[in-house]
Structure 1
């Protein structure tokens, strides 16, 4: 059951619309008060007492003007306050309409509707930027959820298959009085090895998806050389030649996970090859300082459509059929582990079909 954060206990306060409205009204009132103060200051320059104009006419003095000014200034101030409240309420509502759209979408997403998007229209500003960022985040979350759902469904199927096969073989052997125990044990051993390999691959994939925080300086060239040495015997048994063009490719990361990345890349290139084939391993550093490793192998022709899906769990270039080679128990997680390790190190991988058959897989790991 997923954990949910308890709702924080906060005292009830004014809504954001009322806060903006009062802010607008207060600003207008302050401006009015400042203008009144300026008017009072100017009236101080009007002489006080009984004033007469040339020609005998009456001239209002400061005492005459001040009450009239205060009366109308007060009425104007009340009008400004009312205008500030009404106009502020309308302006705040118009401004918050788009924010309510974002909030409504967030509530629908919280309820489980990951397909809903804000899709805010209008000119670019802070709120539209927030909405676009939120939509982009939802796209990423939905893609991650869909990927994990597919992984869970495929993993449950893959984990169930060996046990079902074992049960079927035992039932058949129990019903057959002339059963060959040695053959049964051999077949059980093969299925058991596949189950163990699948479990280890799933654990490796889970470990890769949660990259360790302990990072240190790593040279992909050294890891590639070690992977080529470790898989040299397996390549020779398949009549596959491994060649290396290794240049220092320094980066920072978890050595174990990056070694797993290199091992899976080389193993995938060796296994999915043909007799007399080749595997070429290259490492270098690009102009930005990122470390790159590229593994190219000969082999069956792979279409662009299939190549684009090979980093998904349990996807194989030849479909979901079991490999005919009994020396390798494939579970379709090799490139998924590679992609997860690269992603855990803020890197990426690209899978491109090679002209004439085979693949070119490139992993890029940032320097920091």
Structure 2
């Protein structure tokens, strides 16, 4: 359904329908009771004793033959029941309608509050809550569920705002570099081939960084909340080997010492995503390390653990490292990495229905353990 299209619903509202239903039930029961009273009055009066034939009895100021006494009494009793019962019937039905209208209004008032809150909601007013007080009933559960949904929506909107703001900031940096270099070069009438080559080198680096950032953003968008397109047996030890080959030269340039512990590590999942998990963890361990530091990698029983030396990280800051564009120990404007590596790791592990645990190393650095469900 499009944003501007609204469903057209016809018929009375829920309050009117509940009132009509309650009134109809009371009217039916009252009518049945009136009919039973009418029948009972006639049957009781019909059982009067028989008088001798030919005698006459005065009833309501008039003489009635004895043989007609029972019929006259039965007719008078039934008329009396219909007259008084009819008045009572109308009064009961009217009272039932008023009572049903009042009670349903009180019962449905919380639902009207939920509806009113939903109508007032927008991206700028997600902080509103119903906070319904009163007995713990179905309406209260609905209101609490609605409040919980608003909490999740607000968290999602806040995360989206931060993500868009951070992505805009990150993309603005290489674009600013491109524009500055082009403006400087174009404004220099004496620019020679060497200057043009220098400008081309800077432009290529900026475009490469922007390309990496866009690719990481697309991967993160495809991974978050998505179902795995491929599920097949994957050996985590082999995945780690390929990932380490990608960062070996950088690790050697910084004199990092690698320690590996391999074990039985077959899991079920997407090979490309699992390789990205291992690659991002190792890239994070190498790039945010210290010269001459260490990296420890171990696999076994569906788990992968990557620990490394590095700057000291506060325990209360560990969870924030998995937010987009967050880096530990370096500025946001650093030229290496897009700040999305650990965010992609978390999204990929979640897509595999796995678990991720990170903790700081006492001497400085970070240890991350990911575990995957057992193979089916």
Normalising by structure 1, we get a TM-score of 0.82
After TM superposition, give the deviation of residue 48 of structure 1 in Å.
1.1
Q: Which of the residues 22, 29, 32 maps onto 1:31?
A: 29
1:277 counterpart residue number? 293
On the 8 A contact 2:41/2:81 being kept in 1, the answer is no
After TM superposition, give the deviation of residue 322 of structure 1 in Å.
4.3
Q: Which of the residues 259, 263, 286 maps onto 2:279?
A: 263
2:341 counterpart residue number? 334
Superposed CA deviations along residues 225-280 of structure 1, whole A, max 9, x for unmatched, are 543454445434432314234443634x5443333223212221222122343333
Q: Which of the residues 307, 326, 330 maps onto 2:318?
A: 307
- C-alpha separation between the residues in 1 aligned to 2:136 and 2:354? 31
2:211 counterpart residue number? 196
In the alignment, structure 1 residue 162 sits paired with structure 2 residue 169: no
In the alignment, structure 1 residue 122 sits paired with structure 2 residue 139: no
- C-alpha separation between the residues in 2 aligned to 1:38 and 1:232? 96
1:91 counterpart residue number? 103
2:367 counterpart residue number? 360
Gaps of 5+ in 1: 286-290
On the 8 A contact 1:240/1:275 being kept in 2, the answer is no
- C-alpha separation between the residues in 1 aligned to 2:242 and 2:58? 111
Gaps of 5+ in 2: 52-56, 60-68
| Residues 1:207 and 1:93: Cα distance change in structure 2 (over 3 Å) | same
On the 8 A contact 1:235/1:270 being kept in 2, the answer is yes
- C-alpha separation between the residues in 2 aligned to 1:218 and 1:132? 42
| Residues 1:219 and 1:57: Cα distance change in structure 2 (over 3 Å) | farther
After TM superposition, give the deviation of residue 202 of structure 1 in Å.
1.7
1:134 counterpart residue number? 146
- C-alpha separation between the residues in 2 aligned to 1:207 and 1:317? 25
In the alignment, structure 1 residue 75 sits paired with structure 2 residue 87: yes
| Residues 1:224 and 1:4: Cα distance change in structure 2 (over 3 Å) | farther
Aligned length, in residue pairs: 354
| Residues 1:160 and 1:87: Cα distance change in structure 2 (over 3 Å) | same
Q: How does 1:139-154 map to 2 (within 5 A)?
A: 139-154=151-166
Query: Over alpha carbons, which structure has the higher Rg?
Result: 2
| Residues 1:149 and 1:42: Cα distance change in structure 2 (over 3 Å) | same
| Residues 1:19 and 1:185: Cα distance change in structure 2 (over 3 Å) | same
- C-alpha separation between the residues in 1 aligned to 2:87 and 2:80? 11
On the 8 A contact 1:26/1:84 being kept in 2, the answer is no
Secondary structure class of the residue paired with 2:322: coil
1:17 counterpart residue number? 15
In the alignment, structure 1 residue 175 sits paired with structure 2 residue 188: yes
After TM superposition, give the deviation of residue 144 of structure 1 in Å.
1.2
